[in-house]
A and B are shown apart, each in its own frame.
Chain A
Amino acid sequence: AQSVTQPDIHITVSEGASLELRCNYSYGATPYLFWYVQSPGQGLQLLLKYFSGDTLVQGIKGFEAEFKRSQSSFNLRKPSVHWSDAAEYFCAVGAVSLTAGNKLTFGGGTRVLVKP
């Protein structure tokens, strides 16, 4: 069974500083991976995804993530954080099944607080 671990429950970062959120997954085959963000009072918004190919993927809002198969990781980064990046971030792994659905397995989330 697949699983996702986000080791950091909370992260506080100063505005303008860099941000890195960790994500480790366990999956028996080649995974496909997502990062979603939930801003206060909002739903889940897709930031970026990795299906195959280039292991460094670019997303919206200046975010990027790097897939490292050897480390089973898919860490999310942003070079310079803005106050509007304060939110909860979720890493997810998808399973491809010809018979069942393509359900996502989520990590527990990392809540990011941005200091002025």
Chain B
Amino acid sequence: EAGVTQFPSHSVIEKGQTVTLRCDPISGHDNLYWYRRVMGKEIKFLLHFVKESKQDESGMPNNRFLAERTGGTYSTLKVQPAELEDSGVYFCASSQDRVGVRETQYFGPGTRLLVL
């Protein structure tokens, strides 16, 4: 069974540009999460999809970040326009359990974003 995949693995862009990150969850997993680790800080939750619906987006830092999950399969996270403080590693995770029960999240390799 394939794990969570993320694309690209690395991205270097200039401040003000747009970047789109993609996550493909494990097949059959309805829950999809985005997390971020900025330099030297903790990994922090960004948002959670159940299928194509946003269940919790309380961790999204501002309206420059837009996440979508059309059709309930893969998800994209767009940063527009990118700022220097957006640099970090963006992780995606998925799980198959229902909301409201204890679940195990499986993580992808992350996308390393550097904004210059």
- Using Cβ atoms and an 8 Å threshold, which residues of chain B touch A49? 104
Q: A100-B55, A102-B103 are in contact. Are A43 and B43 (CB under 8 A)?
A: no
A58 an interface residue at 8 Å Cβ cutoff?
no
Q: Is the CB of B102 within 8 A of A51?
A: yes
State the CA gap A97–B50 with chains docked (Å). Answer: 13
Question: A92, A99, A101: which has the most chain B beta carbons within 10 Å?
Answer: A101
Pick from B56, B102, B106: contact of A101, CB under 8 Å? B56
Measured CA separation A96–B41 after assembly (Å):
24
Contacts of A36 in B (CB 8 A): 107
- The CA of A30 and the CA of B37, in the complex, are separated in Å by 26
Partner of A94 from B31, B42, B103 at Cβ < 8 Å = B103
Judging by beta carbons under 8 Å apart, are B102 and A94 in contact? yes
Partner of B100, one of A92, A94, A96, A107: A96
Question: Which of A34, A44, A96 has the most C-beta atoms of chain B within 10 angstroms of its own C-beta?
Answer: A44
Using an 8 Å CB-CB cutoff, how does the interface string of B3-27 with A read, 1 for contact, 0 for none? 0101000000000000000000000
Question: Which A positions have Cβ atoms within 8 angstroms of B?
Answer: 4, 32, 34, 36, 42-46, 49, 51, 90, 92, 94, 96-109
